[in-house]
Amino acid sequence: MRHRVIACLSCLVASLGSFFPASGQDLPRSEGIEAQPLAAQVRRLVEALELQGQPLSPETRAKLDEAMAKSDPSERVRAIQGVLDPLCLFAVTINPEGRVGVLRGSRPASLCQYDWRVFPVKIQNEAGVTSPLKVSSPNAEPVFRVSTNEPRPKPGLSPDEVANRWMDLSWVTSRPMTGPLSGLRVEYRLIQFYSRDAGPREARIEVNAGQGTQDLGFRGALDILFTSEAAVKVTLNVQEGDGSPTTASFILRDAQGRTYPTRNRRLAPDFWFQPQVYRESGESIDLAPGRYTVEVGRGPEYLVQTRTIEVPQAASHRESFTLKRWIDPAKLGWFSGDHHIHAAGCGHYERPTEGVAPVDMMRHVLGEDLKVGCVLTWGPCWYAQKSNFEAKDNPLSKPDHLMRYDVEVSGFPSSSSGHLVLLRLKEDDYPGTSEIKDWPSWNLPITRWAKSQGAVVGYAHTGHGLLTSDLALPSLKVPAFDNVGANEYVVDVTHDAIDFLSTIDTPAPAELNLWYHALNCGFRTRISGETDFPCLFGERVGVGRSYIKLGDGQLNFDRWVEGLKAGRSYVSDGKSHLIDFRLDDVAVGEKGSERKLEAPGVVTVRARVAALLEPVNSPMARSIRQKRLDEKPYWDVERARIGESSTVPVEVVVNGLAVARVPIEADGSIREVAVPVRIEKSSWVALRVYPSSHTNPVFVTVGDRPIRASKASARWCLEAVDRCWSQKSDHIDLNQIKEARTAYDQARAAYRKILEESVDD
pLDDT tens sequence across 426-454: 999 999 999 999 999 999 999 999 999 99
Q: What pLDDT sits at residue 115?
A: 86
> Has residue 506 been placed in a domain?
no
Residue pair 361/393 in contact (Cβ under 8 Å)? The answer is no
- Mark whether 37 and 172 lie in a shared domain: yes
Residue pair 507/630 in contact (Cβ under 8 Å)? The answer is yes
Mean pLDDT in residue range 716-726: 98
Dihedral (C-alpha) 358, 360, 361, 364: value to the nearest 10 degrees? 150
128 pLDDT exceeds 80? yes
Q: What pLDDT sits at residue 552?
A: 87
> Has residue 677 been placed in a domain?
yes
Instruction: Identify the CA nearest to 271 among candidates 348, 382, 194.
Output: 348
Q: What pLDDT sits at residue 724?
A: 98
Question: Of residues 174 and 321, which shows the higher confidence score?
Answer: 321
- Mark whether 236 and 114 lie in a shared domain: no
Residue pair 576/611 in contact (Cβ under 8 Å)? The answer is yes
Give 111's strand partners. Answer: 228
> Has residue 109 been placed in a domain?
yes
Q: What pLDDT sits at residue 456?
A: 98
Q: What pLDDT sits at residue 26?
A: 83
Q: What pLDDT sits at residue 114?
A: 85
Rounded Cα distance between 136 and 708, Å, is 66
- Mark whether 129 and 193 lie in a shared domain: yes
Distances (CA, A) of 220 to 183, 223, 417, 720: 19, 10, 54, 63
- Mark whether 163 and 252 lie in a shared domain: no
Domain boundary among 655, 682, 705: 705
- 512: phi then psi, degrees, rounded to nearest 5: -75, -30
> Has residue 491 been placed in a domain?
no
Q: What pLDDT sits at residue 352?
A: 52
Q: What pLDDT sits at residue 747?
A: 98
Q: What pLDDT sits at residue 149?
A: 36
Question: Of residues 175 and 305, which shows the higher confidence score?
Answer: 305
Q: Is the peptide bond preceding residue 261 cis, with omega within 30 degrees of 0?
A: yes
Residue pair 84/26 in contact (Cβ under 8 Å)? The answer is no
315 pLDDT exceeds 70? yes
Q: What pLDDT sits at residue 597?
A: 98
Distances (CA, A) of 563 to 285, 391, 430, 556: 39, 18, 26, 11
Q: What pLDDT sits at residue 2?
A: 34
Q: pLDDT tens-digit profile of 236-281?
A: 999 999 999 999 999 999 887 888 887 867 888 999 889 999 999 9
Q: What pLDDT sits at residue 144?
A: 56
Q: What pLDDT sits at residue 214?
A: 56
As a three-state string, the secondary structure of 375-403 is EEECCCCHHHHHHHCCCCCCCCCECCEEE
Q: What pLDDT sits at residue 263?
A: 80
Q: What pLDDT sits at residue 295?
A: 98
- 343: phi then psi, degrees, rounded to nearest 5: -110, 5
Residue pair 338/544 in contact (Cβ under 8 Å)? The answer is yes
Strand, helix or coil for residue 451: helix
CB-count exposure of residue 484 (10 Å: 0-12, 13-18, 19+): middle
* Range in 52-61, 318-327, 479-488, 525-534 with the lowest mean pLDDT: 52-61
* Range in 53-62, 410-419, 689-698 with the lowest mean pLDDT: 53-62
Q: What pLDDT sits at residue 148?
A: 36
Which of the four pLDDT bands, split at 50, 70 and 90, describes residue 51?
A: confident
Q: What pLDDT sits at residue 452?
A: 98
Domain boundary among 656, 680, 705: 705
Q: Report CA Rg, the chain.
A: 31
Q: What percent of the chain has a predicted confidence (pLDDT) above 90?
A: 82
* CATH number for position 627: 2.60.40
Q: For 269, which DSSP code?
A: T
Which of the four pLDDT bands, split at 50, 70 and 90, describes residue 6?
A: very low
Mean pLDDT in residue range 306-310: 97
Alpha-helix residue ranges (DSSP H) falling in 145-283? 159-164
- Quote the domain boundaries for residue 198: 2-217
Residue pair 49/190 in contact (Cβ under 8 Å)? The answer is yes
Q: pLDDT tens-digit profile of 626-638?
A: 999 999 999 999 9
20-33 b/e (C-beta count within 10 Å ≥ 16 → b): beeebeebeebeeb
> Has residue 186 been placed in a domain?
yes
- Mark whether 46 and 160 lie in a shared domain: yes
- Mark whether 17 and 133 lie in a shared domain: yes
- Mark whether 127 and 246 lie in a shared domain: no
Strand, helix or coil for residue 731: helix
CB-count exposure of residue 759 (10 Å: 0-12, 13-18, 19+): exposed
Distances (CA, A) of 416 to 409, 412, 485, 721, 724: 10, 9, 9, 15, 10
Q: pLDDT tens-digit profile of 511-559?
A: 999 999 999 999 999 999 999 999 999 999 999 999 999 988 899 999 9
- Mark whether 157 and 246 lie in a shared domain: no
- Mark whether 34 and 74 lie in a shared domain: yes
> Has residue 270 been placed in a domain?
no
Give 307's strand partners. Answer: 294
Q: What pLDDT sits at residue 151?
A: 36
> Has residue 246 been placed in a domain?
yes
Mean pLDDT in residue range 630-652: 97
Residue pair 456/561 in contact (Cβ under 8 Å)? The answer is yes
As a three-state string, the secondary structure of 573-595 is CCCEEEEEEEECCEECCCHHHEE
Q: What pLDDT sits at residue 153?
A: 43
* Range in 201-205, 620-624, 650-654 with the lowest mean pLDDT: 620-624
Q: Which of 28-32, 228-232, 360-364 has the largest mean confidence?
A: 360-364
Residue pair 393/404 in contact (Cβ under 8 Å)? The answer is yes
Rounded Cα distance between 163 and 352, Å, is 12
Mean pLDDT in residue range 403-418: 98
Q: What percent of the chain has a predicted confidence (pLDDT) above 70?
A: 93
- 74: phi then psi, degrees, rounded to nearest 5: -65, -40
- Mark whether 87 and 20 lie in a shared domain: yes
Q: For 417, which DSSP code?
A: G
Cβ count near 367 (within 10 Å):
26
In the chain, the amino acid numbered 163 is: A
Characterise 41 by phi-psi region: left (phi > 0), alpha (psi -120 to 50), beta (else).
Answer: alpha
What average pLDDT does the chain have?
92
Cβ count near 389 (within 10 Å):
18
Which of the four pLDDT bands, split at 50, 70 and 90, describes residue 24?
A: low
Which of the four pLDDT bands, split at 50, 70 and 90, describes residue 161?
A: confident
Residue pair 184/125 in contact (Cβ under 8 Å)? The answer is yes
Q: What pLDDT sits at residue 1?
A: 35
Identify the helix (H) or strand (E) that includes residue 167. strand 167-171
- Mark whether 190 and 247 lie in a shared domain: no
Q: What pLDDT sits at residue 118?
A: 93
11 pLDDT exceeds 60? no
Mean pLDDT in residue range 165-171: 92
Dihedral (C-alpha) 172, 174, 176, 182: value to the nearest 10 degrees? 60
- Mark whether 167 and 25 lie in a shared domain: yes
Q: What pLDDT sits at residue 54?
A: 84
Give 296's strand partners. Answer: 250, 305
Q: How many domains is the chain built from? A: 3
> Has residue 402 been placed in a domain?
no
